Amino acid sequence: MGQQTVCNLCGSAYTQVLLSARKQLHAPQHWVIYRLCKRCGLTFLDLDYTVWLATYADDMAEHSADALERYSAQEETETQSALHDIARLLPDIQVGRGRQMVDVGAGAGGSLRAFQGLGWEATGVEVAQAPAHFAREQLGLTVLQEPYTRATLKAESVDFLYSYHTLEHLPRPYRTLTDFYLHLKPGGHLYVEVPDVRDLNIYHMGFGHISMFTPRLLHQCLEACGFEIIAPLDRSWTPNSFGPGFLCLKPARAKTKELNLIRSDYLPPEQLLRWSGESAWALRWQLWYGFHIGRGGEAFSWRAPLNILWVGTKTAIKRVSPRSFAWLKKVFRS
């Protein structure tokens, strides 16, 4: 069962179970328990992070060189798509001129190649050994193979930070955001993109997604860290990406010394956000529906046995009348 009941973002113990199910995450089966924090609105996976990190590293180690090459090429394509969207707000990004960019969660280096192609001096941070090794040895890129922490980079040393579907994999997202702020030069930019918790389906649930945001909650957290939001980027329509992205500025007059006040593991009480406004019931139904059918009805193909605890069994939805079933699909696809 779950290992912790404290919210990853604000540290509150005031949480409720949204969904509890058994799933073949890795071998052996794990209980997938998603909790909703009733204080800040984060949805988080109630699982021992050290266990998860070990299995993630094992999983990545199994990837062949061919698989890593395909993975890297996909990353490059996705990054080019993101850069295309970012450039509409920040045309300057298309000319790196040797400026420093860091990709936190660099995977197999595809994003670094996309930035290098535009003239950026690109560095990656990647915790998993296999992709980091591939990026260094096969692609000749600069990749630090370690967890991203405050000590990873020098303060105020980075012009552009790129965090593409990484934050949701981390156990202390607020600390990571304040580290982003610390490492950026004043006047530097951050692009952060995560999946939308409301799009969770059977593929994504438990797949290392331990800290899940709504767009509104992420927006509030970025502002709490001192970032100015240039614009939200809705990239949910793209084939492989399904989340809100935010292009942010660290203000040129930022007083980094004041960061000592906000640099903590959890969102400090004085920054505590109001309830993020998502109805727990709506989220719960959405998770349940996603677990069984998946948005768009295409995701229900997981081979592991499922066992839903508190809403009944896998067959429960079949007992719903066709009319109600159609209504449910309509509601959750919109």
Q: Contact residues for Zn ion (CB under 5 A)?
A: 7, 9-10, 12, 37, 39-40, 42
**Residue 45 Cβ, how far from Zn ion at the closest point, in Å?**
14
**Residue 40 Cβ, how far from Zn ion at the closest point, in Å?**
3
| Nearer Cβ to Zn ion (139/194) | 194
| Nearer Cβ to Zn ion (202/262) | 262
| Nearer Cβ to Zn ion (44/148) | 44
The SS3 call for residue 193 is strand
**Residue 230 Cβ, how far from Zn ion at the closest point, in Å?**
26
**Residue 42 Cβ, how far from Zn ion at the closest point, in Å?**
5
**Residue 227 Cβ, how far from Zn ion at the closest point, in Å?**
19
Tokens 């696809």 locate to 333
First to last CA, the chain: 33
**Tokens encoding 176:** 């990571």
Instruction: Quickly list DSSP for 42-102.
Output: -EEE-S-HHHHHHHHHHHHHT--HHHHHHHHHHHHHHHHHHHHHHHTT-GGGG--TT-EEE
**Residue 290 Cβ, how far from Zn ion at the closest point, in Å?**
22
| Nearer Cβ to Zn ion (188/215) | 215
| Nearer Cβ to Zn ion (79/211) | 211
| Nearer Cβ to Zn ion (14/327) | 14
**Tokens encoding 242:** 């399904």
Summary count for the chain: helices (H), strands (E): 9, 11
Query: In whole angstroms, what is the distance from residue 191 CA to residue 249 CA?
Result: 9
Query: In whole angstroms, what is the distance from residue 173 CA to residue 169 CA?
Result: 9
